[in-house]
Chains A and B, each alone.
Chain A
């Protein structure tokens, strides 16, 4: 087995014996979700080109179980916002986020999406966290593909450790309410 190049996801904590393995459902679901994230690329500008490089053969995001891009928000788990979001675009971004089903995560790639970047102007939204909640921020203008992959891995860690009840918690509802999302 050790010779093999195939990597298998690490098993969660649990009780192991001959022919059985017992762990909490939460951990199994987390494991399954984390290694099969379907990202929705919301690529608007330069960072989108680096995302293309991340998807392509040199960096190959498929190694992390995310090669299946979901261009429909209905089936996506992860919203990857890459590039400048202008004020004209902000309502559309929010609409796309609202169309996604729970559980959903948001990865903000690049300085523009995180904070407006170098474009501190009248037309640019100063960070997408003004309109939707963000889970992981990836800095850089644009970030290298390695950084984008690092962001995905961070998201995977979040997904893995998320409690199944989190989306029902009052804290989460308050967060959504603060963005005006019911």
Chain B
């Protein structure tokens, strides 16, 4: 069994300042990185002879509108089957320039997950082979999961606001 502390120290020894912050939340190692290094770190974790973090469990976006300069985030969940060790890696990027390296060079699974994240949050993954909308209609002109956009359909006509307390 790997210890969270051990893995974090290994990461810090290798990447130093690129690991911006780290915490343990509900038993899972969670660390924030410099967004420019995401692919490099994932590759290192993948090829590490002991850690063997070879499975990308999940990739999703988050949006913190009040977090100036770090509005958009990409959250990666990795899993090392051999060590039964899970970890979470986060990278935050500014909404004005939402670009980050693609993970498709390391994992094939990242392909659609990155497309979904682009579809929802407008995060541009540099080097992605086919970055276009996946779930929504192609001609949609906004990124619906960003906090400023409403959940409800704006074109709906049958709703009378008086009955909804608005």
Interface residues of A (CB under 8 A from B): 87-88, 120-124, 126
Cα A123 to Cα B137 in complex, Å, equals 9
New A-B pairs, 15, CB < 8 Å, besides A120-B151, A122-B151: A87-B137, A88-B137, A120-B153, A120-B156, A121-B151, A121-B153, A122-B144, A122-B150, A122-B152, A122-B153, A122-B154, A123-B144, A126-B153, A126-B156, A126-B158
Please indicate the chain A residues that have their CB under 8 angstroms from the CB of B67 in the complex.
none
The majority secondary structure among interface residues of chain A is loop
Interface CB pairs A-B, < 8 A, 7: A88-B136, A120-B152, A120-B153, A122-B144, A122-B153, A123-B135, A126-B158
Question: How far apart sit A121 and B151, CA to CA, in the bound complex (Å)?
Answer: 5
Tell me the smallest distance from the CB of B55 to a CB of chain A, in Å: 29
How far does the alpha carbon of A121 sit from the alpha carbon of B136 in the complex, in Å?
12
For B149, list chain A residues within 8 Å (CB): 122
Beta-carbon nearest neighbor of A127 in chain B: B158
Identify the B interface with A (CB < 8 A).
135-137, 144, 149-154, 156, 158
Interface core residue of A88, A120, A122, A126 (most chain B CB under 10 Å): A122
Nearest opposing residue in chain A for B149, CB measure: A122
The CA of A126 and the CA of B156, in the complex, are separated in Å by 8
How many Å lie between the Cα of A87 and that of B154 in the bound state?
Answer: 13
Contacts of B158 in A (CB 8 A): 126
* Chain A contacts for B151, CB-based, 8 A: 120-122
Q: Which residue of B lies closest to A89 (CB)?
A: B137
| Shortest distance from the beta carbon of B101 to any chain A beta carbon, whole Å | 29
Chain A min CB distance to B115 (Å) = 15
Q: Which residues of A contact B154 (CB under 8 A)?
A: 122
- Measured CB to CB, the nearest residue on chain A to B136 is A123
Q: A120–B159 Cα gap in the complex (Å)?
A: 11
- Which chain A residue lies CB-closest to B150? A122
Q: Given the complex, which residues of B lie within 8 Å of A122, measured CB to CB?
A: 144, 149-154
Which residue of the partner chain A has the closest CB to B152?
A120
Q: Shortest CB–CB separation between residue B145 and chain A, in angstroms?
A: 10
Which residues in B have their C-beta under 8 angstroms from that of A120?
A: 151-153, 156
A-side contacts of B144, CB under 8 Å: 122-123
Q: Which residues of A contact B136 (CB under 8 A)?
A: 88, 123
The smallest C-beta distance from B109 to any residue of chain A, in angstroms, reads: 24
Q: Is B137 a contact of A121 with CB atoms below 8 Å?
A: no
